[in-house]
Structure 1
Amino acid sequence: MARRRLLLLLKPLDTYSFHQLNGVSRSRNPKVLQYLDNRRKVHKDAIEFCTSILQRKSIDWNATFYNNLSRPVQNVDLVVTVGGDGTLLRASHFLDDSIPLLGVNSDPTQPQEVQEASNEFDATRSTGYLCAATVKNFEQILNNILEGQTTASELSRMSIHVNSMPVSTYALNDILIADPCPASASRFSFRIRKYGQTSPPLVNCRSSGLRISTATGSTAATLSAGGFPMPILSKDLQYMVREPISPEPARVRLMHGLIKRNESMDIDWYTKEGVIYIDGSNIVHPVQYGDTISVSSHGPVLKIFLPNHLLPSKI
């Protein structure tokens, strides 16, 4: 039997050095500097811990920082990310539906630390919402995966086409379509098209943009903006017109809703310029006046080992 192959994908250590500019501290609060230095140390220790575990396993493995990735990941049986949800999101953009993913939260938030620092600064660390492991249980979870005792879940990803041409990146969380300047209004129209339906109603909008989320992303920005959380394994998408400008009373209810798994949303863009932000601000795709954008949940699924609290309860 062939040895299992694993890629360890790491959050860069210099991420925690943003408090420095040209060697000069950007913060005058020594507690903030101490906090950031501690976060870097905790993350570094987590990397060293995970690598020490892998060195004891009968598997072939390699480690790299996520900013070194430039092409799809291939020829591995498992990808393990060490960081937080941001690291996991970045990894998902390089994975098809054949390689499962395990997230290790390297720097979990410490509630007591947050409480003690609440009057001075925000001491929240990594949420790790999608990360099934920490250093405390990484070896046990890895053993369960290697021994076939646990099964990866399949999360829906969003497929995006611009003028009928596919965008190469699939969104795991959400997309935001907006003017490049966040203070500018956008004009666009959209239809929710059910397959086989010929002429669905057209909704005309002037607003600060349009956000569309997967079930995974429904607990992030969409929820903060007034949306609702969806079951994480749902294949539906949730859309929300951001800050609509004077919609007709009969159209208010159309500013927020679902795109079912057998539907797609077609968007006609009527602003001079626009940007599709995919899973945050790191991946962008430009659009311009007259472009048509089509969105559906028909992207390849992401296979991922989820935390137990996110798994559907068994009756």
Structure 2
Amino acid sequence: MKSFSNFRIVLNPHKTNAQTVRKQIETYLKKHDKQVICSDQAVDQEDLVISLGGDGTLLKAARSLKNPDVPILGINLGNLGFLADISAQKIETCLDQIICGNYYLEPRTQLTTGKNLQALNDVVIASGKTFRVIQMLVFIDDHFFSEIVGDGFIISTPTGSTAYSLSVGGPIVYPTMEVIILNAISPHMLSLRPLIVPGKSTIKIQICSDLASVVIDGQISENLSKGSTINITQSPHKVKLLKIKGMEYFNLLRSKLRLGDLKARRICEDCDQRFDCPYPKLPI
């Protein structure tokens, strides 16, 4: 596996222990004769980016890349940490594995709106500041799909299938698949369900309401006026997430989302509480 020499750290300064962990990483890497810089902007010669925060920090780091071949390692200082899946307690063990070459790169598709904006998770059409239902027309490869009346519409990557889309009833999609997930937010109809389309599809949204907005990965937004259209396609550039061998996706689903974790749902006959549950006394 490739040996990395130049590391860039992207951190969330609002995390209480961010600076402490940053210094720990810098000290470790410099002991191994590695170059380290802390910057939100891409720098020349960088060959690995370390995201230090939560999933939002990793999404920001992905947008900062100038070279899509530079991988990202996510260190979690937040709560869930689904993309940034390495805990702060395991940083040095993780860096040991990377230096020894015990890692793999997982390519993740992105979406683009054609304005040099990349979305690793999702593109969301929302009602903006009005908090009223919005109306839009959705086309797939120039074929009319549906009229949407509701709170919004999510166009998601497989990576984003465990984010906003999941919270409104969308499917979990294996992250390396070449597909796009379409999911309405609180639609004012009973017949509309999530839809998975090929990754090469072009999704065109035509706004029929007076005001709406497009939101990229929950972090960047732009207003859309009535009659405007926006085209969402799969980006030609993929994000490469660095993963440590042995940390498989299905283990992550069980540990972070409790998917299929029977132990978490098993009732203790003695105390009538869920076994191994971080929220005791919570009913099933």
Q: Which residue of 1 aligns with 2:35?
A: 60
Change (3 A) 1:132 1:205: closer
What 5-or-longer segments of structure 1 have no aligned partner?
Answer: 17-39, 108-124, 161-165, 194-198
- 2:161 corresponds in structure 1 to 218
CA deviation vs aligned residue, 1:96-132 (integer Å, no higher than 9, x gap): 4211111112x3xxxxxxxxxxxxxxxxx52221224
Q: Which residue of 2 is the match for residue 205 of structure 1?
A: 148
Aligned residue number for residue 4 of structure 1: 5
- What TM-score results when the alignment is normalised by the length of structure 1? 0.71
- Where 2:221 maps in the other structure, the secondary structure is strand
Change beyond 3 A, Cα 1:246–1:152? closer
CA–CA distance in structure 2, aligned partners of residues 296 and 311 of structure 1:
28
Residue 160 of structure 2 is aligned to residue 227 of structure 1: no
Decide whether aligned partners of structure 1 residues 205 and 135 sit closer, same or farther in structure 2, where only a CA change above 3 A counts. closer
RMSD: 2.5
Q: What is the aligned partner in structure 1 of residue 18 from structure 2?
A: 43
Tell me, yes or no, if the aligned pair for 1:267 and 1:293 is still in contact at 8 Å.
yes
Distance 2:119 2:71 in 1: 16
One-letter amino acid of the structure 1 residue matched with residue 204 of structure 2:
D
> Is the partner of 1:45 in helix, strand or coil?
helix
3-state SS in 1 of match to 2:144: coil
> Which position in structure 1 is the counterpart of 2:282?
none
Which one of the candidate residues 46, 54, 69 is aligned to 1:84? 54
Q: Which structure 2 segments of 5+ residues have no match?
A: 253-284
Q: How does 1:141-156 map to 2 (within 5 A)?
A: 141-156=94-109
Report the TM-score, using the length of structure 2 for normalisation: 0.78
Q: Distance in 2 between matches of 1:275 and 1:245?
A: 19
Q: Which residue of 1 aligns with 2:188?
A: 245
Tell whether 2:141 aligns with 1:189. no
Determine helix, strand or coil for the equivalent of 2:103.
coil
Structure 2 counterpart of 1:286, from 199, 223, 248: 223
1:102 is matched by which residue type in structure 2?
Answer: L
Contact map agreement 1:3 1:58 (CA 8 A) in 2: no
2:107 corresponds to 1:168? no
In the TM superposition, residue 182 of structure 1 has moved relative to its aligned partner by 5.0
CA distance in 1: counterparts of 2:71 and 2:196, whole angstroms: 28
Q: Which structure's residues are more often helix, by fraction?
A: 1
Distance 1:143 1:202 in 2: 50
The whole-number CA distance in structure 1 between the counterparts of 2:124 and 2:130 is 11
| Number of residue pairs the alignment of both structures matches | 247
Give yes or no for contact 1:259–1:265 (8 Å, CA) kept in 2.
no
How far, CA to CA, are the matches of 1:190 and 1:3 in structure 2? Answer: 44
Provide the C-alpha distance between the structure 2 equivalents of 1:84 and 1:139, rounded to a whole number of angstroms.
Answer: 18
